[in-house]
A and B are shown apart, each in its own frame.
Chain A
Amino acid sequence: MSRLSSLFLSIALLFLSAWLGIVVYSYLQLGRLTSFAGSDGVLPPDFSGRAILGAQVYAANGCVTCHSQQIRQTSVTRSDIDRGWGKRPSVARDYLRDRTAFLGTMRIGPDLSNVGLRLSDPLWHYQHLYEPDRIVPGSTMPSVRYLFKLQKIQGQPSEEAIPLVGSYAPQQGYEVIPTEDAKNLVTYLLSLKHDYTLPEVSPDVTPTP
């Protein structure tokens, strides 16, 4: 092949076809979706301000490196639903309110799409973030205790103090309280739930009640 222009043109056209088909198409068809106004209100429900800040903490600490947030379509596998990670597959609109869609590619830890439904006690989350190996023995999750503050008990123990008994428990006279980052992160985690349905969810999956 001897002409640079024909080579360049063929590269450009082939590349352009996929750019149009994937990037532009996604922008036009998926990027301009709006919330669905159902009888239950706006779906997916908006995040609270704290949850939005919590999503930033989630991003800053790279939680997506180990945790996915997608329940797979039943045409591929039912195991995500059977495992109790969700009641229905995820669709594109579920990620409408996310600044960054934390779809994830690895499951070194469990999927988190519905963790707000599965584990709805904030105290569990605080304890798990601080000493994961005691809450879930054998877990690969590292402790993120830098999101918490170790402080001396002043008079009465703080109401926000986290009860800890494992190897990371504070010594006598000290308590562990969550920082704003930890509170935001837990608020975000608790708001992760697909407890609504959308019209485009495949009809062959009836959500189990």
Chain B
Amino acid sequence: MNPYNDQYSNDELHPERDLLEINHAPAPVDRNNTEGFFGPIPLWLITLSMVLFFWAGLYLAYYSGGFKSTVFNASVVSWSGGGAGAVAAPIDMKVVGKKVFTQNCAVCHQSTGLGVPGQFPPLVGSEWVLSQDWHGDNHLVKNVLYGLQGPVTVKNIPFNNAMAPWNQLSDQQIAGVLTYIRSEWGNNAPPITTEFVAKVRADTKPRTEAWTMAELKAIPRELCSTTPNAGAPAK
């Protein structure tokens, strides 16, 4: 049927049957030329597809911000965990720590870190805080996790009181408060990382009794500073 016609076809006379055939006959199909039908996809197309898939994988690995919903900048490659919770930007641990200290610790150790003579030990210049002598970073963390009781000496001054356990605080909060007290009031010791707190917590069997000084002294000293600090305060 020629669709390309300047004249009205109604003007021509067609028997009904012819019109039916003309309008509705199947279009002719060349069924002899069928070789390519189950032929293979061209090699160059397969190669192109593979190359594109490979590129796609690399691109997603580098520019997806670790598939986190809080990373909006595609240049930020953050496959490693950037801290717990919904915030992916580096958190200032000292800010976190100061908040924890003010809410939980200052009531005894005072906001000056000087404690109360005869009752609560000072944190300023304390070998417990600065991990000096036999004290390690792990002792400090265990101290905070499960508390302390019985006679202790801090800077050669004896104390005999009870420190409450604080294991209900998160690893990040404990790392933050320890980082804070180690860098405040003239103290200067390396920060404690969240990962280290998690490790010490995992290494310690849960207990109902607070530590005594003797128990802690029996545990070998460990330091946090050998591991890279993901929780280091932002400069």
Contact = CB atoms under 8 A, between A and B. Distances in A.
A touching B, CB within 8 angstroms: yes
Interface of A: 25, 29-30, 73-76, 89, 91-92, 199-205
Contact of B88 (A30, A92, A200, A204): A200
Given A199-B89, A200-B89, A201-B89, A89 B75 contact: no
Contacts of B88: 200
Nearest to A200: B70
A203 B90 contact: yes
A201 to B, nearest CB: 7
Given A73-B74, A75-B75, A76-B74, A203 B69 contact: no
Contacts of B91: 199
A199 B72 contact: no
Contacts of B87: 199-200
Contacts of B73: 73-75, 89, 202, 204-205
Contacts of B86: 200
A92 B90 contact: no
B76 interface: yes
Contacts of B90: 203
A116 B234 CA distance: 31
Q: Interface majority SS on A: helix, strand, loop or mixed?
A: loop
Nearest to A34: B86
Given A30-B69, A89-B73, A201-B72, 20 more contacts: A29-B69, A73-B72, A73-B73, A73-B74, A75-B63, A89-B72, A91-B72, A199-B91, A200-B70, A200-B71, A200-B72, A201-B89, A202-B73, A202-B76, A202-B89, A203-B89, A203-B90, A203-B234, A204-B75, A205-B73
A94 to B, nearest CB: 10
Interface in B21-65: 63
A81 to B, nearest CB: 13
Nearest to A93: B70
B72 A92 contact: yes
17 contacts: A29-B69, A30-B69, A73-B74, A74-B75, A75-B63, A75-B73, A75-B75, A89-B72, A91-B72, A199-B70, A199-B87, A199-B91, A200-B86, A201-B89, A202-B73, A202-B75, A203-B234
Contacts of A201: 72, 89
Contacts of B74: 73, 75-76
Contacts of A25: 69
Nearest to A91: B72
B146 to A, nearest CB: 32
A73 B74 CA distance: 8
Most B-side CB within 10 Å, residue of A30, A74, A75, A92:
A75
